[in-house]
Amino acid sequence: MSTVGNSTNIFWHECPVGKVDRQKLLNQQGCIVWITGLSGSGKSTLACSLGRTLHSRGKLSYVLDGDNLRHGLNKNLGFSPEDRTENIRRVGEVAKLFADAGLICIASLISPYRKDRDACRALLPENFIEVFLNMPLELCEGRDPKGLYKLARAGKIKGFTGIDDPYEAPSKCEIEISQKDGICPTPGEMAGQVVSYLEDKGYLEAQ
């Protein structure tokens, strides 16, 4: 739920330079690449690898990382279900603005609740690409790069996704990345899979 009341007496102001103009300038199409998955599944790793790959191809992107955003935009939010929903709502609105600017916006967040991700999809339904890092809990907990699973198992963190709070897997994601024969794809391979999708759908050139 938004912490800000509904505004009244406001009007949308159109500018002469629009999204199509910006996309032509950048020779790409603005979109949201929303990476979701458990903590430790590789979301930030994929986001950074994807951003680097796109940059090397002359494509402009920007990464919205969940932890980074909690240092500023979302620093007043905790991890209750209500705060998680507001966290995702804010990121969705910012991602929509980046996409409107013509950028390929890469949002990397656990975003555990399906309804919250679907609400973000509804903001830009034709240009929302959901990427599900479908890695098993055992793998993510074994990695535990921030030591959070250990704290959650010890009861020192409450409401931790995958331990005592649910993760709702996507039901209609555009891209699903998982292990093959028990082996995780490399960051470059994961990024390549997303770039191939963007290329096939025409996002890497202007309309």
Residues recognised as catalytic: 111
Residue 155 main-chain phi, psi, to 5 deg? 80, 10
Instruction: Determine contact, residues 204/198, Cβ cutoff 8 Å.
Output: yes
Residue 77 main-chain phi, psi, to 5 deg? -110, 145
User: Whole-angstrom Cα distance, residue 59 to residue 204?
Assistant: 7
Q: Name the H helices within the chain.
A: 19-26, 43-56, 66-69, 81-100, 114-123, 137-143, 148-153, 187-200
User: Whole-angstrom Cα distance, residue 171 to residue 168?
Assistant: 9
By CB atoms closer than 10 A (0-12, 13-18, 19+), residue 137 is: middle
Instruction: Determine contact, residues 93/32, Cβ cutoff 8 Å.
Output: no
User: Whole-angstrom Cα distance, residue 54 to residue 198?
Assistant: 10
